[in-house]
A and B are shown apart, each in its own frame.
Chain A
Amino acid sequence: MTDDDSGSSESDDRGDSGSDYFRRNRSGQFDRLPETEGDRMVEGRPSREAVVDWWVDRFAVPEDTFADYTLWEKGKGKVWALPYDLEGPVPVEALGLKLLRTRQEHWKPTTDAVQRFGRAAEQNVIVLEEDRARRFIAGDDQELDWDGDWGYLVVAHELAGGVEPIGVGLYTYGELTSMVPKGRRRDL
C-alpha cells in the first residue's frame, strides 16, 4: 500500500506541469487553523485544539509538543506545523512539516511527523526487533501480535542507544501494514 499523504515526495498536490497557470492552480494556499471549534470560519476545518488533543490522546505526547508552532491547513485536511508566527493565507508550495491528514474518520499521522515528534510518544508505539524493522521499512506487511489499540501506530526500533521512530503502521486483524511511502522505502 502506498501512502502518498505521509510526506512522500510525490504527494498529490503537485503535478508535472510547469506552467504558471497550473502552478497557481495546484499550489493553493495555507490557512491558519482556528484556535477552537468556536473560532471556526471554514466548514470542516479542524481546530488547533482538536489537532493537539488528537496527538496527546492517540500517542500521549506532552501537551506542549506543539506550543511553539503555528498550525496550518492546505487543501482538504492536511495539517502542517511551522515554528513561526505568521498571519495567513500563505501562498507557497510547502509551509513547515506536514503533521497529519484530517477530515476523515481516522486521522492519519505522516511519516515525517512520527519521525520528528514520535520519540516523545508514550502510547500506541510498537518497537520492532531488527528483522521486522527492516521488513517494515521495505514496505512489507507482517503478521504480528499486538494487544494495544488498532489503528495507526508509531513503529519504532532500537538504534544507537535509544528507541527511534521509523514511521507509521496500520494495525488491524493481527497484521501490521507499513504506511511508509514508496519513495522512503529501503531494502537495508
Chain B
Amino acid sequence: MDALARYEPIIPEFDAFLEACERHLPTTVRVNSIKATRDRVVEALEAEGIDVYGRDWNSDVLGVATGKPGNTWPYVHGWIHGQEEVSAVPPAILDPQPGEVVWDSCAAPGGKTTQIAAAMDDEGLVVANDDNLGRLSALRANCDRLGLTSAAVTNTDARRATLDPFPGVDAFDRALVDAPCTCEGTVRKNADALEGAGASASRNLAALQSDILERAIELTREGGTVVYSTCTFAPEENEAVVDDALADGDCRLLEFDTGLESSPGITEWNDETYDDSLTKTRRYYPHQNDTGGFFAAKLEVTA
C-alpha cells in the first residue's frame, strides 16, 4: 500500500480509504438487457441457490453471493456479464442512444462495450477497438456471448485510428476513452496492482493517454460527447490528461451525477495546477461505495 501514501493530501478519510483497499471486492454482475430482464436474471440465479442483492444507483448491477457467477445458466445464455460495479460508471456517463455511432477506443475485454451496446438497445454501430490481439479474443468472445449485433471490432492503435473502415461515417457521436493506466484502483481484486505503480510510471503513461483522448476528440462530431476514464488514483493520469485536452481548446467539461458517492476532481497536485473546471470530473474511492477506484471525466466536443 506504500504506493498509495502519496495520495493522503487529496483523498478524504484516508484511513478508511486504506482499510477499504485491503478488503476483498464484492462480486457483481451486470444484467445484459439485450438478452434478458433483471427480473428473469434474479429468478434464474435464485433458482440456482445464489442470493442476489440490488444496487441503488443502477438497477442492472447486481451483487451476487457467489465467487463464480460464470458457472450458471444466466451466464451461459449471455444474460449477465461479470463486471466490477464501478466499471459500469463510464458507459452510464457516456449515455449513448439507439442508432448512434460510438467509439470504444480501448475496448478489451468488453464489459463497457457490451454495456454501451445494451444502452443503445443494440441499435446503431459501436466500434470496439483494441490494439492488443490477445485481449481482442476476450472482447470478441464477450460480444458474442452477450449477443451484440451492433459491434464492429477493430485492431488498431487508438492514437492513429481513422473512420476509413466505415464508408459514409463522418464522425462518432460519442467516444469512450477508458485508457490503459496503472490500475491502482483494482488493488482490491488484484493485490499485485500496486507493483510498479508510482509517479514516474504514471507520468510515462500520460503521453499515451493524452494522445488517445486527443484522437477521440478529433473523431467525434461537434456537440458530441467524449468520456475519459481510468481505474487509477494518479492525478498524472487523470486530471493532468484532461487538463491537457482542455488546453487544446476543442472541448469543455460537463458535470454529471451517477448516483454513486464520489469526490470532485482536484485542481492542484504537487507543484502543478489544473483548470478550475476539473472539479467537474469525479473520483470514485473504494471506501465510498465499497467498489474499486475510478476516475471519470465527461467532455463536450466544441469544434
Q: Do B137 and A115 touch (CB < 8 A)?
A: no
- Chain A residue with the shortest CB-CB distance to B154: A92
Instruction: Please determine whether B147 and A112 come into contact, CB atoms closer than 8 angstroms.
Output: yes
Contact (Cβ within 8 A) A92 B153:
yes
In the assembled complex, A25 has its CB within 8 A of some CB on chain B: no
Q: In the complex, which residues 112-169 of chain A have their Cβ closer than 8 Å to any Cβ of chain B?
A: 112, 115-116, 137, 159-162, 164, 166
Binary interface profile of B, 113-151, with partner A (CB < 8 Å = 1, else 0)? 000000000111100000001001110110111011111
B5 on interface, CB distance cutoff 8 Å? no
Whether, in the assembled complex, A7 has its beta carbon less than 8 Å from a beta carbon of chain B, the answer is yes
Among A44-52, A78-86, A171-179, the one that faces the other chain is A78-86
Tell me if B200 counts as interface (CB < 8 A to partner A).
Answer: no
A36 CB within 8 Å of chain B: no
**CA distance in complex: A86, B166 (Å):** 7
Task: List B contacts of A69 (CB < 8 A).
Answer: 149
Taking the closest CB of chain A, its distance from the CB of B1, in whole angstroms, is 35
- On whether the beta carbons of A160 and B144 are closer than 8 Å, the reply is no
B86 to chain A, nearest CB (A): 26
A40 interface residue (CB < 8 Å to B): no
User: A82 touching B147 by the CB < 8 A rule?
Assistant: no
CB atoms of B77 and A159 under 8 A apart: yes
A112–B138 Cα distance when bound, in Å, is: 15
Contact B76 A94 (CB under 8 A): no
Interface bin, chain A = 35 or more
Is residue A62 within 8 Å, beta carbon to beta carbon, of the partner chain? Answer: no
B71 at interface (Cβ–Cβ under 8 A)? Answer: yes
**A-B pairs with lowest CB-CB distance, top 9:** A9-B141, A94-B153, A116-B147, A160-B43, A160-B40, A160-B44, A84-B125, A93-B153, A97-B149
Contact in complex: B140, A94 (CB < 8 Å):
yes
Which B-chain residue is minimally distant from A187 (CB atoms)?
B71
Q: Are A87 and B76 in contact (CB-based, < 8 A)?
A: no
| CA–CA, A137 and B71, complex, Å | 11
From residue 1 to 17 of chain A, which have CB atoms closer than 8 A to chain B?
7, 9-10, 14
Total A-B pairs, Cβ < 8 A: 106
Partner of B143, one of A18, A86, A91, A94: A94
Chain A residues contacting B141 (CB-CB under 8 Å) are 9, 183
User: B152 contacts which chain A residues (CB < 8 A)?
Assistant: 82, 90, 92, 94-96
B49 at the interface (CB under 8 A from A): no
Bound form: Cα–Cα A10–B134 in Å:
11
Q: Are A161 and B40 closer than 8 Å at their CB atoms? A: yes
Query: In the complex, are the beta carbons of A93 and B145 less than 8 A apart?
Result: no
Contact present for B154 and A97 (CB under 8 Å): no
CB-defined interface of B140-183 with A at 8 Å, one 1/0 digit per residue? 11011101111111110000000001111100000000000000
- In the complex, are the beta carbons of A115 and B35 less than 8 A apart? yes
Q: When the two chains form their complex, are residues A92 and B40 in contact, meaning their CB atoms are under 8 A apart?
A: no
Cα distance, A87 to B167, chains bound together (Å): 6
CA distance A162 to B44 in the complex (A): 11
State whether A82 touches B149 (Cβ < 8 A): yes
Q: Known contacts A9-B141, A10-B137, A161-B43; is A86 also within 8 Å of B147 by CB?
A: no
Whether A9 and B167, one on each chain, are in contact in the complex, defined by CB atoms closer than 8 angstroms, is no
Among the interface residues A87, A90, A95, which one has the most CB atoms of the partner chain B within 10 A?
A95
